Every structure is written in C-alpha cells, then in structure tokens.
Amino acid sequence: MTANELADAMGIRASIRRQATSRKSVQEGADDRLADQLEQAATMLRQQADRINVLEANHKIQLNINKKALKYIEKLEKENENLKERDRVNGLLFNQIF
C-alpha cells in the first residue's frame, strides 16, 4: 500500500465515522476528534509523500549534473595533457633549432 492509498483509506474511514447515525457524536452534531485526527494524519502523510517525491526528483537532477560535470572534467584533463605534450614537443623543437 502506498502512502497516498493509506491516506485515502484514512479519509474514507473518517468520513464513515462522521456518517454513522448510530454514533453519539453524529446524533449530537458534535465533533469527532478521532475522525479529525485521521484526516489530519492523511493530509500530513500526503504532504510528506509529496516532499519525498520532490527530493527524489532533485536527487536525480543532481546526479545528472554531477555526471555531466565529471565528463567535462575528464575532457578538460585530456585537453590539458594534450597541451602539455604539445608544449613538450615544441620545447624539443625549439632546443633543436637554437
């Protein structure tokens, strides 16, 4: 059962409690504290599930950014090695000429 399914079940249960005509609180038109708490818990559960979904999405985005950054760093390191080799060869050629 997912968090949203559980929250839905809690909301349904709260609704059932409020509609049961045999309950004293319904007959008196009084508040049903347990039904209120069920609805509050369902709301909080949905909010937490939403926050988790956002965090998971952000984590995937960050992983993708890190992957791209690592590829870019590897590219720069290769270019740096190529430049060092070119400078070494140019230095050898310069020494041969002079």
pLDDT in tens, 5-45: 999 999 999 999 998 888 888 888 888 999 999 999 999 99
**Global pTM?**
0.68
Residues 75-98 pLDDT 10s: 999 999 999 999 888 887 777 777
Determine the pLDDT at residue 23: 87
Q: Which pLDDT score, from 0 to 100, does residue 41 have?
A: 97
Contacts of 44 (CB under 8 A, 6+ apart): none
pLDDT given for residue 80 in this prediction = 96
Output the pLDDT for position 64.
Answer: 98
